[in-house]
Amino acid sequence: MSSASGEESAHVVVRRAVTSDVRAIRELVRPLAERRVLVAKDAVAYFESLQQFRVAVVDDVVVGCGALHVMWEDLAEVRTLAVSPEHLGHGVGSVLLAALLDDARDLGIGRVFCLTFETAFFGRHGFEVIEGRAVDPEVYAELLRSYDEGVAEFLDLERVKPNTLGNTRMLRTL
């Protein structure tokens, strides 16, 4: 597999995404968005958040992607973690997640959140189901000011519940 720095071992390389990867990222996400597993986004949203993304590459083909979105001083979210069907079960998602967690550590982030149907996968990587409020009241009040839907999902706000039915909020402390 690969390290977070992009070093190659075996045949998977994880690296920061570049603009030419956006089309491939969208193709990885499209079937998952159609099944409402991931959130559908316009192309412009991927370009605007490109610096948050890492991609997994095999033989010069993007086979996986994932993003780390900073939410607060010590909190970030893993978003848009997707792997091509042909590469599922081969560790690509694990390598991508490890790279994103390394990015969180590099940024000084102490806790990483995800909203997922893949509870077994994230559980194997140290994530635990969030019970109740995961931040203190002052931070909660500040996060309420965000327009970001991921923040609303983290806060478990009623307005996002119709879009997150069946998803589980999980958190890992680094």
* 82 contacts 29 by C-beta, under 8 angstroms: yes
pTM of the model: 0.84
Per-residue pLDDT of the chain (174 residues), as tens digits, is 444 444 433 489 999 999 999 999 999 999 999 998 888 899 999 999 999 999 999 999 999 999 999 988 899 999 999 999 999 999 999 999 999 999 999 999 999 989 899 999 999 999 999 887 777 777 767 777 777 776 767 766 665 554 555 688 899 999
Helices (H) and strands (E) in the chain, counts: 6, 7
Could you give the domains of the chain? 13-173 (3.40.630.30)
* Whole-number Cα distances in Å, 167 to 34, 94, 114, 115, 164: 15, 20, 10, 6, 5
